[in-house]
């Protein structure tokens, strides 16, 4: 039955494509459950609550605006006990060549460290305004021919309050941690962020300063070494970053890199400490990083990596409870990935029978009271690495549309002022996202497809860039080609962006017949899409203005553009108050108005919304939001309005709690009628000891209209993990949904009851991101009106092995 796979374990080498899931999560403004590196102080509401994707929420928290003013007094360093001395610190310098052996064990006692450049993390940029750091952190930096070395000494006046847990990679952002951010091309565009908590747990991200919706991407996994240890007065961390992990100009002489040394000090407030000042009015965090010279003779070595993989899985199913299980697919899938960097500025990747298996299940979502297709994050390694090279203002590349590739090739790199990326693949199936004016859906063609993607960006200077992107896909009687150009200009408080795209497509008769409302009778649609945007942001004020126009014949089948045939304009602005030293230290008010028309001039939406945000004690955040709009559906305009409250706080280092409540008049799409809808979401995560973490998210909504309850719907995502040590982890996940409708309140037939639940257990042993063992099992069940009893639907087991070999 279509739709049930979203709650299942994707463990085979040929996972089900995203057309299968039919669950949608209602997260009007998702709570921040996995804080990333940098908080956003401006709280800009550029995206609508009902359309905000998880990755866009994270992006909203990563904008550079939060940071402290340039006119603050020069901070002074803190002494070993955490008190303040009076010696000013100026960041930057020359990174020296280290001589002698260094062991990465968290104890930087080798003699080679004596030649290192000593730096300080001296500035509190959030919540402080470039004030002196409340705790002292010193960093030693140096390099050898093949690696960059750093040693952090993080002092703390109350070391018993240090937050340090054993976690999986990229999962320790709520802890104390230190890190180094590297702009290896010194172009203020793309950077590396490498982070280590006091126990040596790693996190690494790619920073794309040009992408305002997803500036930090944790999908990149570099190969580097780290170790940490708690001490009587704080903690120490050692880091070794091989040059083979990084990309930088291919030059044998001195280089200049932009570098930020960073410390996260989470207590009542989440203090963001850096080695350099960052003005609060800055719209470019990376532009503020210190400048460091040296690194002459840095070598990447052979920089060849071969990763063979083997995935073995078996599945069983049954039709009714009590019946015998019958065997399903049993698969043994070998594969190999190859990565080679012929120069420090270029990377080539190839894969045969690629391991595109997904170890952990997607977040359960409900396709409920929504007419558009669901978005799922990409989790497959081949597509994740270097994904930032392919981003553009429109979502013209959504790599989960390449559902079942036989092989793939990718090239990414830099040439002087240019950056490029290219992907070529052969897909065993053809997955389509068929868009429309008021809805979209997935369709699958039983034919192979050739795929090609190209992206290029040229930086005229640090302020102005232009780019081009193209996607091509073709099959037996199908094709879709998209090409376009884009530009970005940013200087001071001003940012302007624009993009223009053109597409031409050809669809088989089966698609045209099944989607006449979207395609009409045209089997060869074509059209344009364009957008232009301007934003202004300084210390206290923000302004957003943009317009987009997408023709009804435009198609981006390799992307995720589910709505076409409309134009939309938005104008919004906000004001921020910084109340240094107060309980609620940041308050922001924002309002915007947007209007959307169909291609023939019909009003689709007219919306006004406003919100107030505040950040306070116990790392708390509070948002009050209201919206009113006219919405077009089934030939009529409906009035919708609601108010909501979103709050989260962390009472201590072990517990985080959040709640979202929404009440208002909303449209029931299946009945073409409005009613009073209430929605409640509760979330939390709890740390038990060093290695156990529990998390939960429960969402419930109810629609009352016409004297009764039209529907109730609930979704649960819960789980826990036990990290035995930095390499071993056991994870259990439980997901469930329940939907009840009153058929008497609907003119058309609807399912009165539906239930869906699944559980998954996964053990992992990771030597590094390339060499790992996974073993797991899953079980799932489903019920609807045709199957009144809950029955076991599927169960499966799998083992996945990968080995990173560097000849």
In this predicted structure, which of 351-365, 394-408, 565-579, 722-736 has the lowest mean pLDDT? 351-365
Whether the CB-CB separation of 29 and 613 falls below 8 Å is answered with no
Residue 343, in any domain of the structure: no
pLDDT tens digit string along 564-584? 999 999 999 999 999 988 889
pLDDT tens digit string along 136-192? 999 999 999 999 999 999 999 999 999 999 999 999 999 999 999 999 999 998 899
First to last CA, the chain: 47
Domain that holds residue 221: 76-294
412 pLDDT higher than 80: yes
55 pLDDT higher than 50: no
Phi, psi values for residue 48, rounded to 5°: -75, 145
Whether the CB-CB separation of 173 and 36 falls below 8 Å is answered with yes
What is the pLDDT, as a whole number, of residue 751?
87
646 pLDDT higher than 80: yes
Residue 234, in any domain of the structure: yes
pLDDT band, very low/low/confident/very high, at 645 (cuts 50, 70, 90): very high
Q: pLDDT exceeding 70 applies to what percent of the chain?
A: 85
What is the pLDDT, as a whole number, of residue 61?
33
Residue 138, in any domain of the structure: yes
For residue 682, give every residue at least 6 positions away whose Cβ sits within 8 Å of its Cβ, in sequence order, or none: 658, 659, 696, 697, 698, 699
pLDDT tens digit string along 416-441? 889 999 999 999 889 888 888 888 88
Residue 778, in any domain of the structure: no
Question: How far is Cα 574 from Cα 544, in angstroms, rounded to an integer?
Answer: 9
What is the pLDDT, as a whole number, of residue 59?
34
pLDDT band, very low/low/confident/very high, at 361 (cuts 50, 70, 90): low
For residue 666, give every residue at least 6 positions away whose Cβ sits within 8 Å of its Cβ, in sequence order, or none: 640, 642, 674, 675, 676, 677, 703
Residue 156, in any domain of the structure: yes
Whether the CB-CB separation of 235 and 229 falls below 8 Å is answered with yes
pLDDT band, very low/low/confident/very high, at 637 (cuts 50, 70, 90): very high
Please tell me the total count of domains within the chain.
1
The full DSSP string for 508-548 is -HHHHHHTHHHHTT-SS-EEEEEEEEEEEE-SSEEEEEEEE
8 pLDDT higher than 80: no
The b-or-e profile of 325-348 (16+ CB within 10 A means b, else e) is eeeeeebebebbbebebeebbbbb
Beta strands in 144-188 (DSSP E): 147-155, 177-183
Residue 176, in any domain of the structure: yes
CATH code assigned at 107: 2.60.40.1190
The C-alpha angle 315, 400, 426, rounded to 5 degrees, equals 90
Residue 739, in any domain of the structure: no
Q: Which of 22-36, 246-260, 564-578 has the highest mean pLDDT?
A: 564-578
Beta strands in 400-516 (DSSP E): 405-415, 418-427, 430-434, 441-445, 449-459, 464-474, 479-491, 494-506
Residue 208, in any domain of the structure: yes
Mean per-residue pLDDT for 453-465?
Answer: 94
């Amino acid at each position: 039955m279509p739709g049930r796979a979203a709650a299942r374990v994707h463990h085979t080498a040929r996972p089900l494509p995203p057309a299968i899931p039919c669950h949608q999560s209602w997260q009007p403004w998702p709570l921040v459950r996995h804080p990333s590196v940098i908080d956003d102080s401006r709280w800009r509401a550029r995206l609508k609550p009902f359309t905000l994707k998880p990755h866009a929420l994270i992006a909203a928290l990563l904008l550079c605006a939060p940071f402290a003013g340039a006119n603050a007094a020069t901070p002074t360093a803190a002494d070993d006990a955490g008190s303040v001395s009076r010696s000013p610190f100026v960041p930057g310098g020359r990174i020296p060549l280290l001589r002698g052996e260094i062991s990465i064990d968290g104890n930087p006692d080798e003699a080679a460290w004596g030649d290192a450049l000593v730096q300080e993390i001296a500035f509190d940029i959030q919540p402080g305004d470039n004030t002196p750091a409340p705790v002292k952190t010193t960093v030693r930096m140096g390099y050898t021919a093949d690696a960059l070395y750093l040693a952090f000494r993080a002092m703390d006046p109350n070391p018993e309050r240090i937050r340090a847990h054993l976690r999986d990679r990229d999962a320790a952002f709520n802890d104390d941690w230190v890190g180094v951010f590297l702009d290896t091309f010194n172009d203020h565009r793309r950077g590396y962020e490498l982070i280590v908590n006091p126990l040596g747990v790693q996190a690494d991200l790619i920073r794309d300063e040009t992408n305002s919706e997803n500036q930090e991407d944790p999908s990149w996994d570099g190969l580097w070494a780290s170790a940490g240890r708690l001490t009587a007065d704080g903690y120490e961390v050692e880091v070794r970053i091989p040059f083979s992990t990084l990309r930088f100009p291919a030059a044998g002489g001195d280089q200049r890199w932009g570098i930020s040394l960073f410390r996260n000090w989470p207590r009542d407030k989440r203090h963001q400490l850096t080695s350099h000042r960052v003005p609060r009015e800055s719209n470019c965090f990376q532009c503020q990083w210190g400048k460091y010279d040296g690194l002459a003779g840095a070598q990447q070595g052979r920089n060849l990596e071969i990763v063979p993989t083997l995935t073995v899985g078996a599945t069983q199913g049954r039709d009714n409870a009590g019946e015998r299980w019958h065997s399903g697919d049993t698969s043994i899938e070998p594969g190999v990935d190859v990565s080679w960097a012929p120069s420090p500025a270029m990377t080539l990747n190839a894969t045969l029978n690629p391991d595109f298996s997904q170890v952990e299940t997607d977040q359960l979502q409900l396709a409920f009271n929504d007419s558009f297709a669901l978005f799922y994050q990409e989790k497959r390694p081949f597509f994740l690495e270097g994904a930032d090279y392919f981003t553009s203002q429109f979502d013209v590349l959504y790599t989960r549309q390449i559902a079942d590739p036989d092989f793939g090739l990718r090239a990414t790199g830099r040439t002087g002022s240019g950056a490029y990326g290219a992907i070529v693949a052969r897909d065993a199936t053809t997955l389509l996202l068929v868009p429309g004016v008021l809805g979209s859906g997935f369709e699958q063609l039983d034919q192979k497809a050739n795929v090609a993607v190209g992206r290029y960006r040229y930086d005229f200077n640090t302020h102005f860039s232009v780019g081009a992107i193209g996607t091509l896909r073709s099959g037996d009687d199908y094709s879709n080609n998209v090409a376009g150009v884009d530009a970005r200009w940013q200087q001071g408080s001003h940012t302007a962006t624009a993009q223009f795209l053109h597409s031409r497509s050809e669809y088989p008769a089966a698609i045209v017949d099944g989607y006449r409302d979207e395609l009409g009778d045209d089997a060869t649609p074509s059209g344009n899409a364009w957008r232009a945007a301007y934003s202004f942001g300084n210390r206290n004020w923000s302004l957003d203005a943009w317009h987009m126009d997408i023709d009804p014949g435009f198609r981006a089948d390799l992307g995720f553009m589910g709505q076409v045939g409309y134009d939309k304009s938005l104008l919004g602005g906000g004001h921020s108050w910084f109340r240094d030293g107060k309980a609620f230290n940041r308050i922001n008010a924002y309002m915007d108005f947007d209007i959307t028309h169909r291609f023939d001039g019909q009003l689709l939406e007219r919306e006004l919304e406003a919100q107030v945000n505040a950040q306070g004690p116990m790392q708390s955040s509070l948002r009050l939001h209201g919206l009113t709009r006219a919405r077009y559906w089934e030939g009529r305009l409906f009035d919708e309005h609601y108010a909501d409250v979103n709050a989260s706080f962390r009472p201590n280092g072990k517990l985080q709690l959040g709640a979202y409540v929404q009440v208002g008049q909303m449209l029931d799409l299946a009945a073409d009628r409005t009613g009073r809808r209430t929605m409640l979401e509760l979330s939390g995560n709890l740390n038990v000891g060093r290695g156990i973490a529990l998390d939960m998210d429960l969402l419930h909504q109810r629609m009352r209209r016409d004297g009764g309850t039209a529907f109730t719907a609930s979704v649960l995502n819960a789980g826990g993990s036990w990290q035995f040590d930095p390499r071993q982890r056991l994870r259990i996940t439980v997901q469930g949904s329940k939907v009840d409708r009153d058929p008497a309140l609907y003119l058309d037939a609807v399912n009165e009851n539906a239930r869906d639940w699944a559980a998954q257990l996964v053990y992992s042993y990771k030597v590094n991101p390339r060499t790992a063992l996974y073993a797991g099992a899953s079980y799932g069940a489903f019920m609807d009106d045709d199957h009144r009893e809950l029955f076991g639907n599927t169960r499966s087991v799998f083992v996945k092995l990968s080995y990173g070999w560097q000849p």
